[in-house]
Amino acid sequence: MTVATTAGALPDLVRECLPGPGGCRLVTVDGWSGSGKSVLAEDLGRTVDAPVLSIEELYPGWEGLAAAIPLARAWIAEPLFHGRPARWWPWIWERDVRSADPRTQPCVPVVVLEGCGAGAAELRPFTSLAVRVDCPHEERERRLRARADWPGYAPHRARFLAQERRYFAGAPDPDVTVRT
């Protein structure tokens, strides 16, 4: 069952949720493009003193939403759940290749993973709290067009929206939903 809540209530929910056996609470912040998930995740990370990782670093290009989910599980969610550092190889969007240099995130009490796909069923066994950010379609589109990176995103918008639709058609319900 999904519970509607406010952004201000999230820190207490994070503190109350159970960590994995390795001591980390993985909090996922999922939502459609333009819903406000990055802003919410950054605010939450500052409030609970947690690093914020982006699943978008794992997308292997503009067609990569679905392909990023098993990478997030293997490289981030499972290791943190078991108390090991996360280690991933970010996608270099400008060169359209995977980096040869990994990034790492030590296992800490709370890690926030944000981005479309972060609340996927494959990640849920390793997630302490799954948050979905919700916002009306018209507002999401307005926000997207107002972003500084819109000129680079615009040519790919329709293609990425089709991936989002496929993903959300089968995505599990989150633990909580925040409307922005």
Residues in CB range of 59: below 8 A, 6 or more apart: 65, 67, 68, 91
The residue behind tokens 């490289």 is: 75
Break the chain into its structural domains and give their ranges.
Answer: 37-179
Q: Record the pTM.
A: 0.95
User: What's the pLDDT score for residue 18?
Assistant: 96
What is the three-class DSSP state of 5?
strand
Separation CA 80–CA 32 (nearest Å): 25
The second-level CATH assignment, the architecture, of 37-179 is 3-Layer(aba) Sandwich (3.40)
Question: For residue 152, what are the contacts with CB-CB under 8 A and spacing of at least 6?
Answer: none
Tens of pLDDT, residues 12-49: 999 999 999 999 999 999 999 999 999 999 999 999 99
Backbone φ and ψ for 117, nearest 5 degrees, come out as 110, -15
pLDDT in tens, 124-147: 999 999 999 999 999 999 999 999
Rounded mean pLDDT, 99-124: 97
